[in-house]
Amino acid sequence: MKIYKIAAAAILISFASLTWSFKEDLFQVSKNLDIFASLYKEININYVEETNPSSLMRTSIDAMLDNLDPYTEYVPESEVEDYKLKYVSTQYGGIGASTIFIEGKLFVNEVNEGYPADKQGIKPGDQLVKINGNEVRGKERVQVSQLLRGPKGSAVELLIIREGALLTKTLVRDEIKQPNVSYSGMTADNIAYIRLDKFLENSAQEVKDAATTLGKQEPKGMILDLRYNGGGILQEAVKIVNIFVDKDILIVTQKGRNPQKTISYKTLSQPLFPQIPLVVLIGGSSASASEIVAGALQDLDRAIIVGQRSYGKGLVQQTFNLPYNSLVKVTVAKYFTPSGRCIQALDYAHKDANGKTLKFADSLMRKFNTKAGRNVYDGNGIYPDVLVNTPKFNPITISLVNKYLFFDYANNFKKNNKVIAPAASFQLTDNDYTAFVNSLAGKDYSYVSRTERLLADLRTEAEKENKLTAVKTDLDDLKSKMLGAKKTELTTYKAEIKRVLETQIVSRYYYDKGKVTQGFQYDKELNAAKSLLNDSGKMLAILKGEGEYKTIGSPVKTIAAAVEDNNQ
């Protein structure tokens, strides 16, 4: 009895402490609001120059939120629709075309199959001059989006320039649906493949529909591709895991400073595919809800994770309504996978002397265990069971992309070639590539490499120390060799450049789905996944944690791998 009284007293003390703390927080909030409101009023009334109250308020809000994390943000009424499209809904009224600014001019980048822009013959490379009589030049991207979007059934008139000629096109806006599942299909060796690019509304239903359709063909296994998925709605992630995991299983727990934000999410229904062999593809762009899915399936030993370490966003946001139809999105909690690990990579609570957010050190990572006893670690994202390294793009390729030289050539290629091979087998010939290289004559695609910057810094330091004379010959020799190497880069990196160019070209004929299927020819992670699904013995060994598969993402190994990667 005495023990119960002590426990009850402890609970009462704890509750009283929380209540006092909550009241203290409310007092501080109220006090500071009064100070800020008075200051804001006095500045606007008494400052010597004319002030803009809205601008001052926005600056104050942004400065306050900048000290938190990049996911906590204020959304004014004018940006609410774009916010909902980015984070919630996949539908809007528009023409079905994406645009890019090149040297201040607005061009059509890609058109979506079957939508108004496609039906009315709008083509990539068309320059948009006016939208409903409004000049495009000088407008921000948000303003352009607002002009192109509108209610389904409303008309929009476009004045475009194509090959030097002015054309007027009148389009009727339609409801544009951006699917969460951008592609699904069967591979040649009877494996189901689903690419999920977003976790917005109905994403779980889209995955379920795709899996059900492909399941009718009795695949030997399934691949869920999350490599290009930056996340979205947490509850959708839980539903997707539920497709493959039994009912009433813990998938994720979010824990916040406010006790009301601490919630555990379990599966609610029986799975559709509880036994199908499953591989999940992840990469550096896989974040948030993607990591919940990958982390849960890894912790439950239900799927093998293939690819590279994920982004490492272990934070949960919630949107709150504010006066005058504005919003604020606030980070309210951290999330934890079934094993208890949080995979947040950046420590926003602690910054260095320059205000830079620091990463949690690999050496501080803690060990957790999957359902079968495999060792996994928290911090810095989800580490794959099977690591497949993919090289980064070389500077020459990045320069060609950034200066839109692939874009220009792809548009001309489409004009001169009415048909090409099917997307799945399309490749440029050597003659095609030579033609692309020749098209670069007289065009600026130069860039300053990291080595050249280091050489310039070394020269500067040598001058400061009066040692330039001693090393000038060596520095000049290195610079000359660097310039010589850069002259041959179009040949040295031909394979990489050709792949990017093929992606641009194939989209002109087969749209987004064509880009996906054409890329399968070079997809190392996909090939690794297919190899696993064709080797049931190896899959079982990985999931049981046999031998080298007992520990996933050992800090010692990942630190060594990072050092090796940085030295390449």
Beta bridge partners of 316: 333
Classify each residue of 302-333 as buried b or exposed e, where b means 16 or more C-beta atoms within 10 Å of its C-beta.
bbbbbbbbbbbbbbbbebeeeeeebbbbbbbb
Judge if 437 and 457 occupy the same domain: no
Q: Does a structural domain hold residue 513?
A: yes
Q: Does a structural domain hold residue 219?
A: yes
Distance (Å) of CA 51 to CA 64, 244, 354: 20, 58, 31
Question: Any catalytic annotation for residue 288?
Answer: yes
Q: Does a structural domain hold residue 237?
A: yes
Judge if 101 and 124 occupy the same domain: yes
Judge if 171 and 313 occupy the same domain: no
Judge if 347 and 287 occupy the same domain: yes
Supply the pLDDT for residue 483.
Answer: 65
Among 27-41, 252-266, 290-304, the range scoring the smallest mean pLDDT is 27-41
* pLDDT tens digit sequence for 12-48: 444 444 444 555 677 888 899 999 999 999 999 999 9
Looking at the structure of the chain, the number of domains it has is: 4
Decide the pairing of beta strands 73-75 and 165-172: unpaired
Q: Which domain holds residue 426?
A: 395-447+493-532
50 falls in which pLDDT band (50, 70, 90)? very high
Judge if 383 and 262 occupy the same domain: yes
Supply the pLDDT for residue 534.
Answer: 97
Query: DSSP assignment of 245-277, as one string?
Result: S-TT-EEEEEE-SSGGG-EEEE--S--S-SSS-
- CA proximity to 280, closest of 315, 229, 234: 229
87 falls in which pLDDT band (50, 70, 90)? confident
Supply the pLDDT for residue 24.
Answer: 66
Judge if 409 and 346 occupy the same domain: no
Which of the listed residues 458, 487, 516 is the one where a domain comes to its end?
Answer: 487
Judge if 196 and 228 occupy the same domain: yes
Supply the pLDDT for residue 10.
Answer: 43
Judge if 363 and 222 occupy the same domain: yes
* pLDDT tens digit sequence for 308-367: 999 999 999 999 999 999 999 999 999 999 999 999 999 898 888 787 888 887 777 899
Q: Does a structural domain hold residue 454?
A: yes
**Catalytic member of 69, 126, 299, 378:** 299
Provide the 8-state DSSP code for 553: S
Q: Does a structural domain hold residue 316?
A: yes
Query: DSSP assignment of 196-258, as one string?
Result: E--B-TTHHHHHHHHHHHHHTT--S-EEEE-TT---B-HHHHHHHHHTTS-TT-EEEEEE-SS
Q: Does a structural domain hold residue 152?
A: yes
Which of the listed residues 138, 157, 177 is the one where a domain comes to its end?
Answer: 177
Among 141-150, 245-254, 349-358, 488-497, the range scoring the smallest mean pLDDT is 349-358
Judge if 173 and 247 occupy the same domain: no
Supply the pLDDT for residue 22.
Answer: 52
100: domain CATH number is 2.30.42.10
Supply the pLDDT for residue 496.
Answer: 96
**Catalytic member of 208, 239, 313, 515:** 313
Among 153-162, 303-312, 546-555, the range scoring the smallest mean pLDDT is 546-555
380 falls in which pLDDT band (50, 70, 90)? confident
Write out the two tokens for 261.
């934000």
Positive or negative torsion for Cα 346, 349, 353, 355: positive
Counts of helices then strands in the chain (DSSP H, E):
18, 23
Above 80 in pLDDT, residue 557?
A: no
Which of the listed residues 177, 205, 239 is the one where a domain comes to its end?
Answer: 177
Judge if 252 and 214 occupy the same domain: yes
**CB-based contact 271:243 (threshold 8 Å):** yes
Supply the pLDDT for residue 479.
Answer: 74
**Catalytic member of 182, 288, 290, 507:** 288
Cα–Cα distance, 192 to 185 (Å, whole number): 6
Q: SS3 for 296? A: helix
Tell me the average pLDDT across 466-470.
83
pTM: 0.87
Q: Does a structural domain hold residue 116?
A: yes
User: What is the overall mean pLDDT for the chain?
Assistant: 90
Supply the pLDDT for residue 28.
Answer: 86
Supply the pLDDT for residue 450.
Answer: 78
11 falls in which pLDDT band (50, 70, 90)? very low
Judge if 341 and 220 occupy the same domain: yes
Q: Does a structural domain hold residue 164?
A: yes
Helix axes 524-533, 536-544, angle to 10 degrees: 90
203 falls in which pLDDT band (50, 70, 90)? very high
Above 80 in pLDDT, residue 89?
A: no
Judge if 249 and 325 occupy the same domain: yes
Supply the pLDDT for residue 167.
Answer: 96
461 falls in which pLDDT band (50, 70, 90)? confident
**CB-based contact 252:292 (threshold 8 Å):** yes
Above 80 in pLDDT, residue 463?
A: yes
Supply the pLDDT for residue 565.
Answer: 52
Q: SS3 for 86? A: helix
Q: Which helix (H) or strand (E) holds 380?
A: none
261: domain CATH number is 3.90.226.10
* pLDDT tens digit sequence for 418-453: 999 999 999 999 999 999 999 999 888 888 777 778
